[in-house]
Structure 1
Amino acid sequence: MALDTLSLFAVTIFAISMTPGLCMTLAFTLGMSCGYRRTLWMMAGELAGVATVAVSVAVGVAQVVRWRPEALTWLTMLGALYLVYVGVGMWRSASGALEAQSGRASLSQVQLVVLGYNTAVLNPKGWAFLIAILPGFINEQQSLSYQLGLLVPIFLISEFIAMSIYALGGRQLARWFSKPEHSVWLNRVAATLVLFIAILFGLESVNA
């Protein structure tokens, strides 16, 4: 895969990873209540979960493209439209203060791994984002396993860095998010990034 494609994927996936969601909220909460080291067990499960979702989505997309080659263009366009919908919704709501989840400190290591895995696999937004994003980076002329071997590690590294930031900054973020205007600001920045990504995908589908 071209270096510029991998770079765009890295920037795109990191922007999405940093967006507040179930996994980041969980990392934030556990980092604050259990500490970073114990949160690593949840992160391990979450990374296994997102890898499962990414491979499942990529294989499904590959099957559709093999059946109808023009489907890749349509999937990319639909993904762009979905991201516009998400971005506008995030901008309009702009009230996503992170909600603490209690009762996690007593979980065992195995329970933390299972919690992370289930949170990633059962998160519909995770599936939706990947279905929206992956088609724009998959080249039907190249080996799918080769592309996954490059894209999935980038995705996992991005997720790990994002969760680490949330977990390590738990207490400081808690104080920062206590001011409503800060929560609004963060959500609007995230919404702007999602809309920008949607524009890039839209242009990609038009030029395909």
Structure 2
Amino acid sequence: MAAGTWSVSVIQGGTEYQRGSFTVTRPELTNTAVPKVTGTAAVGVKVAAANGSWSAAPSSYTYQWKANGTAIAGATASTYQIPAALLGKKLTVTVTAVKSGWTSGTATSAAVTVAKGTAPKATKAPAISGTAKVGRTLTTSKGTWSPAATSYAYQWYANGKAITGATKSTLVLKSAQAGKKITVKVIAHRTGHQDGSAVSKATKAVAR
């Protein structure tokens, strides 16, 4: 019998007599174990919704991901790839369980805090070009990074010791570096991620 309010009547001798009414309600799906966000909640990572458990077996589910309690536009799939804009925010997923003939039920996962994504890694190390001689200029390449960096920083070294103020992609060699081997560290920044770094091979000893 369909849900709704039904009337009962009796027809006797051609006359209909009302005998009251009754209401048929649909059973409701209730949550018995809350959904969860599975996977590492970090920028750049795809997380997934675990549906939780319900009082009866649902036929389907719908999803809504939220950041700090606010629905994220378009985030209605069972998985969600976390963008940099959500760094530090509380991520949840609301699962709606659907079953034909039943009232749908909803439940929301516990919140997880979005952390920084993993650092870019150098697939090709930076390399120094130029002549290692006092007065000449050395230049470093950025190297190749995965995932791609959004900006870079530099630090030059002489015999492994940081050269004060040498934080550009080029270095003019001074007499203080004579006889020393030069390296450069490239720091790769990617929005919402930890920093990655890689060090070049050393030059020959700087000539005068």
Q: Same fold (TM over 0.5)?
A: no
TM-score bin, normalised by smaller chain: under 0.3
* Structure holding more helix per residue: 1
TM-score (norm 1): 0.19
More RCO (CA 8 Å, sep 6+): 1
Q: Using structure 2 for the length normalisation, give the TM-score.
A: 0.19
- Greater CA radius of gyration, 1 or 2? 2
